[in-house]
Amino acid sequence: MDNSEATQVMQQLGGQALAAARKMRMADTAAKNRWLTLSALRLRRERDHLLNANAMDLQQARDNGIDPALIDRLELTTARVEAMADGLDEIAALPDPVGRIDDLVYRPSGIQVGKMRVPLGVIGMIYESRPNVTADAAALCLKSGNACILRGGSEAIHSNRAIAACLRRELVESGLPQDAVQLVDQTDRALVGALISAKGLVDIIIPRGGRSLIERIAREATVPVIKHLDGICHVYIDASADLAMATAIAVNAKTHRYGVCNAMETLLIHEEIAAEAIAALAPPLAEKGVEVRGCPQAIAHCGDWLPASEEDWATEYLAAVLSVRVVKDIDEAIDHIARYGSGHTESIITEDYRAGQRFLREVDSSSVMWNASTRFADGFEYGLGAEIGISTDRLHVRGPVGLEGLTSP
């Protein structure tokens, strides 16, 4: 498919999405929730059909000798279909942000002014192998009154088609426009290019996947993009930290789950507390099997740790690996984060009010924490409900993007 053919395909999908978005904008909460509930039932009822479609994708992936980690992400199981259906039920239970009026005040002129939340319009979602994103993303986009165009990974095309068919069927049942959910049915790469440059048809692009995919989209898109690239999250243990708290938070931030974007990748420790902090931290980290790579000062306190290279400070391990650096003071910690961080989530552990306030103010990340684990950077934990992604951008929405982030402020 050449670019002009791709543009033509996207013009058609975009035009249909735009028409559907006009209807979705006015859809009442009851209809949207009915669709979510019926879709959850439909996914459960068609489980075997979904698993068969998924088996075709898995077979193809194995034939193509694809990486086992990717095959794991691609696979649907009975439990995963159930979790996908549960996700829709949970989104049905969330409050509808559309039409909510905030900041209603009387002005000196006598007029009463407020801000009403309205949907963004058409959301273009680009993702890789996990088929559950098809259901999750569609549910969040539609509950917030938008239409969506979904472009999943080509390796998951049979699974995505089967899921999208369930969702579209129930749209008709619920009296909502079927084209509010459209799957880009062809796997041609040119279609991604056409989607991210469909100005006037698509209001926002949300990519989810590996760094290279997201970098390419951010570079080439002319439609605004909400994204995060890496999660190189830091915890900084200040001189005045409560040591028991610091240890508990650092261990939680690293070991609670390894493959997630809000896991700690680098621990910074004030030199005054380094000896005690490392003595307290080394045993639980060793017990959990975490490989620690430290700066020379850190290694001086723990002989078992390996030396860190320059590259370590800029690496999102997503694994049982941690880099540790001893710093002179809070300034050096903030400078380290500015230089190597990815703007995702950073936390300071301190009992010192001024140090805590400085960290909150001076660190430029989407989530900045004080005496909390980076693992709390999550839509549910923040009270936003299910999230479609996490934004490290500053325009429109920052941090976890829930239903509210998919509406206009």
- The span of 89-97, 110-118, 137-145, 304-312 binding a copy of itself (CB under 8 A) equals 110-118
Question: Which amino acid is located at 143 in the chain?
Answer: K
- Residues in region 56-95 near a copy of itself by CB under 8 A: none
Binding residue (CB under 8 A) for a copy of itself from 17, 372, 386, 401: 372
Which span (79-87, 116-124, 312-320, 321-329) binds a copy of itself, by CB under 8 A? Answer: 116-124
127 neighbors 75 (Cβ within 8 angstroms): no
Among 20, 38, 120, 348, binds a copy of itself (CB under 8 A): 120
CA distance 329 to 76: 48
Rounded Cα–Cα distance for residues 369 and 234 (Å): 10
Map residues 161-200 to x or -, x wherever contact with a copy of itself holds by CB under 8 A. --------------------------------------x-
Nearer to a copy of itself, 37 or 365 (CB): 365
* Cα–Cα distance for residue pair 14/10, rounded to 1 Å: 6
Helix (H, G, I), strand (E, B) or coil at 384: coil
* Burial environment of residue 172 by CB neighbours within 10 A (0 to 12, 13 to 18, 19 or more): exposed
Show the 3-state SS of 225-268: ECCCCCCCEEEEECCCCCHHHHHHHHHHHHHCCCCCCCCEEEEE
Q: Toward a copy of itself, which CB reaches closer, 199 or 288?
A: 199
Query: Tokens 């969330």 label which residue?
Result: 94
Binding mask of the shown chain, residues 14 to 43, with x at each position contacting a copy of itself by CB under 8 A: -----------xx-----------------
In the complex, minimum distance from the CB of residue 92 to a copy of itself, in angstroms, rounded to a whole number: 21
Looking at beta carbons only, is 80 or 358 nearer to a copy of itself? 358
Nearest to 236 by CA among 376, 392, 372, 353: 372
Number of residues forming the site for a copy of itself (CB under 8 A): 38
The contact set with a copy of itself (CB under 8 A) reads: 25-26, 99, 105, 107, 109, 111, 113, 116, 118-121, 199, 203-204, 218-219, 221-222, 224, 360-362, 364, 368, 372, 376, 381-383, 394-398, 408-409
